[in-house]
């Protein structure tokens, strides 16, 4: 629409100019001829011409129409293609767009486009050559970075590195999972609102607490300490207790940031509190009984005490002694159970434990092993070494005493507990034999362990028994083991989070140079800002008429890098019917929204995710209207700066036919995946924005304020929802 109006204006101006030139030439010619005639000749000439002036005016209009057609043809065939080609050439010169230029206009213009494509190709080849040389020169640095990334990925401790402003510039997968557990609503988009590159650590830690620890470190550095550190414990908004050890990051003698080693001590604190309560119960609970016993003993020492009274006091002594004994047994049992649960256990994928058991059994016994059923994705919390010794010990005794020829392993999840079976075909055994094997010290060749099967199972708080399957003519030992979730460890690792084909990047050391308060936000360069690029899927296109959000998807851009690993994606229950007409577009069916959180839970989480960033969307007025209509109900207000890729595309490419997201992506050679899903559209919009930044800079639009002002000059900025 905008391009058509611009072209119509160009045609009108060209036509008016052409008619004006012709009319001026005719007027000048007539004036020149008439100036040579005598008055009587002028009258003779004017007499036949004046009545024909309407015909002359009509011919001028015909001339104007013909001129308009010619002008329109010339503009469409020569002027407009040149303008479009110029914008596309500029895009290729200032971005790395790989797509060839479109064939527009005259043959000469098409040939020019082909030559420009060839030049761009040569430039890209030169860039690749230079990049190859730079990569060769910096291979040592990249190797060190890769080693660091590998080390950080494999660490079992949570590590977060921040600059002096508390902005996160590095974290490892364990920290990401731990912060997810710390989220007040970790089921919402995986707790994505707490941790991310460039995000402030003060969303979790009190700023004054961190500042105090930094001051302690700086004082120790000033005194000449070689490796100063500080420790503190803090409570998070979700009620978890974190113990943090802080170490400085230095550039020479200058403090540039700090490292936090984090440990969730909530369970330790609860366990210690339980032990304190146990000790208090032991001391306070027995005090009254001891007082009663002392009083009864003193009265029993009276020689004049009658038999009935003596018997009554003896009954008191017996009752109190029995109560003390029972109470002591209960406290002892609780203490033993607490000791068992404190044995160090580790998270392990059940399939890995089964595979390790197969290898160890075959190595020690020489018999074949196999599996019947292994629950995929089942994580256990076990002492894997001790548990493998149990399985190998039982297998060896079966082979030696019952001549078992093959053994099978089965791992199932039943009633929220893991069931690990060691299965064989052949002779059954008596209960006495099973009890003997369970209580005997485990042997492996000449080595005798100090542990028995019973000891190992007690460490796990599990159970062990023998069972016969008469239908399948099989027997098996069954071990009941705890799942990783059953022990309440909110930080336990998940297979999906750690078994990536490649390690995600969770660091950006360029953020060491960033500092808050250096510039007013509108004066900050576009390339230096952090962005939350988002999109919504809705029940319809009329927010003011009751349509609601059904999905929010977002991704972050920090330091010019698209952080795909830090995405936000969440379905929303709109609490209204989902129109069937929209389902083929967004692919969200009504049953997918059943049980999903409502907007009053999702929007605060998204607001926290977008904290301290600039919001970016395509046709942002539409999405922002939906957010703004929910502000009163949710208690959050989106007062972030907003940039719109639709408007800014019209700024850098005013002559293009379309500024739809697909059309812009095609111009920039961006592959569109997951169109009309919130996260898919957000990812495409993010890539479009990264392409627009250098094009805006080439037009002199360098900072946020300039970009917002430029966007408001476009035709699309007048659209309202």
Place of tokens 């100036």: 35
Strands 406-414 and 463-469: unpaired
Longest dimension (CA), the chain: 171
Q: Give CA–CA dist 535/551, Å, rounded.
A: 8
Instruction: Residue 484: count other Cβ atoms within 10 Å of its Cβ.
Output: 23
Which residue out of 607, 618, 676, 702 is catalytically annotated?
A: 676
Walk across the sheet containing 549-558 and list its strands. Answer: 561-571, 549-558, 531-538, 614-617, 642-644
C-beta pairs of 96-103 under 8 Å, 24+ apart in sequence: 96/124, 97/667, 97/668, 97/669, 97/691, 98/124, 98/669, 99/666, 99/667, 99/668, 99/669
Using a 10 angstrom Cβ sphere, with 0-12 exposed, 13-18 middle and 19 or more buried, the burial of residue 255 is: middle
Task: Look up tokens 């060896």; give the residue.
Answer: 396
Query: Pairing relation of β-strands 168-171 and 158-163?
Result: antiparallel
| Dihedral pair phi/psi, residue 159, rounded to 5° | -125, 130
| Residue 500 appears among annotated catalytic residues | no
Q: How far is CA 441 from CA 179, 433, 461, in A?
A: 42, 14, 19
User: Who's near 656: CB < 8 A, 6+ residues apart?
Assistant: 3, 84, 87, 649, 663, 667
Bridge partners (DSSP) of residue 422 are 409, 477
The DSSP symbol for 75 reads: I
Residues forming the active site: 676
């Amino acid at each position: 629409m905008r391009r058509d109006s611009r072209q119509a204006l160009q045609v009108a101006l060209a036509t008016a100019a052409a008619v004006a030139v012709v009319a001026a030439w005719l007027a000048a010619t007539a004036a020149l001829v008439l100036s040579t005639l005598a008055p009587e000749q002028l009258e003779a000439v004017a007499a036949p011409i004046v009545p024909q002036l309407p015909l002359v005016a009509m011919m001028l209009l015909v001339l104007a129409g013909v001129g308009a057609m010619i002008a329109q043809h010339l503009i469409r065939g020569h002027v407009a293609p040149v303008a479009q080609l110029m914008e596309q050439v500029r895009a290729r010169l200032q971005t790395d767009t790989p797509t060839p230029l479109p064939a527009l206009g005259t043959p000469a213009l098409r040939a020019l486009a082909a030559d420009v494509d060839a030049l761009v190709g040569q430039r890209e080849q030169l860039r690749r050559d230079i990049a190859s040389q730079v990569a060769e020169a910096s291979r040592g640095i990249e190797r060190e970075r890769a080693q660091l990334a590998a080390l950080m990925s494999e660490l079992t401790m949570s590590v977060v590195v921040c600059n002096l402003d508390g902005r996160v510039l590095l974290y490892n997968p364990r920290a990401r999972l731990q912060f997810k557990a710390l989220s007040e609503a970790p089921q919402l988009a995986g707790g994505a609102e707490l941790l991310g590159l460039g995000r402030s650590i003060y969303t979790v830690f009190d700023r004054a607490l961190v500042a105090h620890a930094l001051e302690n470190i700086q004082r120790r550095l000033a005194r000449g300490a070689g490796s100063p550190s500080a420790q503190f414990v803090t409570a998070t908004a979700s009620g978890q207790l974190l113990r943090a050890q802080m170490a400085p990051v230095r550039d020479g003698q200058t403090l540039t940031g700090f490292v936090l080693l984090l440990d969730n001590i909530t369970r330790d604190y609860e366990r210690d509190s339980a032990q304190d309560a146990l000790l208090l119960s032991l001391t306070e609970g027995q005090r009254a009984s001891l007082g009663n016993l002392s009083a009864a003993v003193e009265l029993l020492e009276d020689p004049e005490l009658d038999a009935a009274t003596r018997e009554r006091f003896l009954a008191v002594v017996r009752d109190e002694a029995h109560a003390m004994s029972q109470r002591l047994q209960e406290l002892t049992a609780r203490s033993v159970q607490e000791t068992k649960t404190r044995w160090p256990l580790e998270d392990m994928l059940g399939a890995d434990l089964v595979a390790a058991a197969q290898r160890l059994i075959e190595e020690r016994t020489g018999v074949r092993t196999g599996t019947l059923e292994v629950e995929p994705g089942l994580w256990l919390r076990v002492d894997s070494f001790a548990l493998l010794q149990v399985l190998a010990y039982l297998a060896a005794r079966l082979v030696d005493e019952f001549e078992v020829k093959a053994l099978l392993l089965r791992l199932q999840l039943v009633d929220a507990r893991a069931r690990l079976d060691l299965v064989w075909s052949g002779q059954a055994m008596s209960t006495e034999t099973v009890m003997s094997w369970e209580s005997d010290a485990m042997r492996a060749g000449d080595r005798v362990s100090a542990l028995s099967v019973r000891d190992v199972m007690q460490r796990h708080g599990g159970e062990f028994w023998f069972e016969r399957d008469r239908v399948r003519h099989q027997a098996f030992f069954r071990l009941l083991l705890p799942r990783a979730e059953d022990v309440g460890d909110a930080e336990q690792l998940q297979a999906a989070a750690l078994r990536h084909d490649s390690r995600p990047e969770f660091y950006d050391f360029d953020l060491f140079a960033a500092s808050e308060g250096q510039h007013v936000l509108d004066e900050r360069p576009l390339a230096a800002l952090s962005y939350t690029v988002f999109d919504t899927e809705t029940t319809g296109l009329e927010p003011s008429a009751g349509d609601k959000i059904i999905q929010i998807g977002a991704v972050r851009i920090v330091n010019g890098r698209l952080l795909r690993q830090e995405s936000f994606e969440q379905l929303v229950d709109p609490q209204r019917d989902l129109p069937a007409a929209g389902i083929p577009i967004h692919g969200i069916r009504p049953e997918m929204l059943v049980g999903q959180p409502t907007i009053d839970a999702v929007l605060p989480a998204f607001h926290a995710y977008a904290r301290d960033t600039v919001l970016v969307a395509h046709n942002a007025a539409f999405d922002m209207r939906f957010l703004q209509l929910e502000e009163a109900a949710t208690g959050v207000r989106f007062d972030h700066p907003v940039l719109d890729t639709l408007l800014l595309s019209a700024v850098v490419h005013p002559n293009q036919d379309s500024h739809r997201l697909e059309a812009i992506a095609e111009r920039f050679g961006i592959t569109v995946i997951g169109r009309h899903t919130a996260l898919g559209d957000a990812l495409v919009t993010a890539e479009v924005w990264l392409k627009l930044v250098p094009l805006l800079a080439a037009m002199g639009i360098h900072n946020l304020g300039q970009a917002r002002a430029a966007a408001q000059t476009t035709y699309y900025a007048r659209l309202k929802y």
